Amino acid sequence: MASLEELLKMVDEAQQEGVELTQALVRIPSVNTGRNNEPPWPPSGKPGPGESFAEPEVAYDKSGSVPTGDELPAAELIRDKLAADGIEGAIYHSQENRASIVANLRGQPGNARLLMMSHIDVVPVEDASQWTHDPFGGEIHDGRLYGRGSSDMKSTVAAETMAMIILKRAGVKLKGDLKLAICADEESGGAYGFGWMAQHFPETLEAEFAVNEGGGAPMKDGDRLIYPINTGEKGRLEVRIHITGRGFHASQPWRADNAIYKAEEVIRRIRTYQPEVSVDHELFSSLEQLTGITDKPTALNIDEIIEQLTPTHENLASYLKACSRMTLVASMIQAGVKSNSVAETCLITCDVRSLPHQTTDYVQAEVEKLLEGLAGVRVETIETSPPSASTFDSELVDHVAKATSLAIGRDDVEFVPGLTVGFTDSSFVRPLGNVAYGFMPSHPDSDTSKNGAHNINESMDVQSINTITRYLVALAWETVVDHG
């Protein structure tokens, strides 16, 4: 039976293998174009003589969503990698080219302990010419691996795969199951990935604990090293504001009620919306630990604190702002069908990120109140992902903290609860009973501001791939390996 020290040595010796696996994954363009929820094609109205509406770039299915992502080749790569070490991975198809892969190192029956989660799709590259390196090349320069998905989140996909392989190679005995789930479609909300798996094959995901993306960027303050463990995440909703006017020939516009002009006041109100401020999340109780600011944060003073922090701690200040309120932002606008007709209708689509206690009804009521008194305006709220949270008061905090200390070789690391302000797949496994944290620790020396997830020149420092693999092996040691 290998000791933890021996296991971590095996991880270090396999470091290059993990890097090469990440490179191979980055070279597979599993791009999720995220066109779900677009309005149905074709638009209403008829093209004039000799004109035609341009064909959409992609075909819509009946639900108005598009099968994108093409995760299958990446899932097959992971399956083959696992198979080379005698681990059987099962590929599940939510659609023909949408694939997720799960694997299970079995321990004592009926005792699923730990699920390692990740997603294999990536966001598109908008303009490759702005990148300094090929976005699908997986090139390494100055210790950073470049490419779309390198940080979000194919490095973790590789680290999780390598962690399972190392434990298998070492022949460890397990007290319960160690599960791996690498799924499709996170970048479009997960309906074809973890959402679909949780609905149809929940038994593949159920475990006492789960770890996923979200937290793990080191914060340094002198000699202090602080990691946030993200215990929950905001919800995501789409608010569609339908504005109805009256069309007319554009040559006599005064006879119309232009929906585009009606949109002006709607947009002004959205832009100046003042959301309710809340410091209820447990992360605000560690504000002093994070910033040295001794004022107790309240809904009344938090904006002052944020303002005070902004010049020196811009990222943290912006994060605290996002964690203390719902955001509402207009992100798409569509109106009119023809340049010589005044627009009859206008659709403004807003992105909303809600706090863990805010429901869909709350969001609907807030936006209705905001637009009160405007004629021809209808608000439609669609929840794409509910907010969710696991408690920080869980055994998993201790395991994650211990595993991180072991992985980086320091026993003075501090941990604070965090809230993921974007969406992750964790919200699909929390309802299954898993305590799920967003936590994959980067190396303490890593400059995570260079990661550029969803941005040009996305990259990942190579040594963090090893750090995350060490952490996962140590976490398995803490939770699921039978030391006897």
The partner residues of 304 in beta bridges, in order of sequence, read none
Residue of 209, 215, 219, 211 whose CA lies nearest to 229: 215
Of residues 153 and 413, the one with the C-beta less far from Zn ion = 153
| Residue 115 C-beta: closest distance to Zn ion, Å | 16
| Residue 75 C-beta: closest distance to Zn ion, Å | 16
Compute the 3-state secondary structure of the chain and give helix, strand, coil in percent, each to the nearest 5. Answer: 35, 25, 40
Rounded alpha-carbon distances, angstroms, from residue 316 to 172, 215, 283, 341: 41, 13, 12, 48
Q: Which residue of the set 177, 186, 208, 257 is catalytic?
A: 186
Of residues 14 and 120, the one with the C-beta less far from Zn ion = 120
Clarify whether 13 is annotated catalytic.
Answer: no
166 near 473, Cβ under 8 Å?
Answer: yes
The owner of tokens 């819509």 is 60
Clarify whether 208 is annotated catalytic.
Answer: no
> For residues 194 and 385, what is the distance between their CA atoms, to the nearest angstrom?
12
| Residue 20 C-beta: closest distance to Zn ion, Å | 21
| Residue 233 C-beta: closest distance to Zn ion, Å | 12
> For residues 183 and 89, what is the distance between their CA atoms, to the nearest angstrom?
12
| Residue 351 C-beta: closest distance to Zn ion, Å | 17
Residue of 71, 73, 75, 62 whose CA lies nearest to 101: 75
Coil, helix or strand at residue 471 = helix
Of residues 152 and 233, the one with the C-beta less far from Zn ion = 152
Category of 149 on φ-ψ map: left (φ > 0), alpha (ψ -120 to 50) or beta: left
Residue of 153, 11, 104 whose CA lies nearest to 472: 11
352 near 239, Cβ under 8 Å?
Answer: yes
> SS3 letters for 234-279?
CEEEEEEEEEECECCECCCHHHCECHHHHHHHHHHHHHCCCCCECC
What residue type is assigned to position 389 of the chain? A
> For residues 317 and 480, what is the distance between their CA atoms, to the nearest angstrom?
38
Q: Which residue of the set 70, 121, 208, 238 is catalytic?
A: 121
- The residue at minimum Cβ distance from Zn ion is 152
Residue of 465, 444, 466, 404 whose CA lies nearest to 10: 466
| Residue 152 C-beta: closest distance to Zn ion, Å | 4
The owner of tokens 């585009």 is 260
Coil, helix or strand at residue 345 = strand
Of residues 284 and 423, the one with the C-beta less far from Zn ion = 423
CA dihedral angle for residue 427, residue 430, residue 435, residue 441, rounded to 10 degrees: -20
Backbone angles phi, psi at 238, to 5 degrees: -115, 125
Of residues 194 and 284, the one with the C-beta less far from Zn ion = 194
Residues of this chain that bind Zn ion (CB under 5 A): 152-153, 213
Of residues 208 and 213, the one with the C-beta less far from Zn ion = 213
> For residues 280 and 283, what is the distance between their CA atoms, to the nearest angstrom?
8
Of residues 152 and 177, the one with the C-beta less far from Zn ion = 152
Of residues 120 and 396, the one with the C-beta less far from Zn ion = 120
Positions annotated as catalytic residues are 121, 186
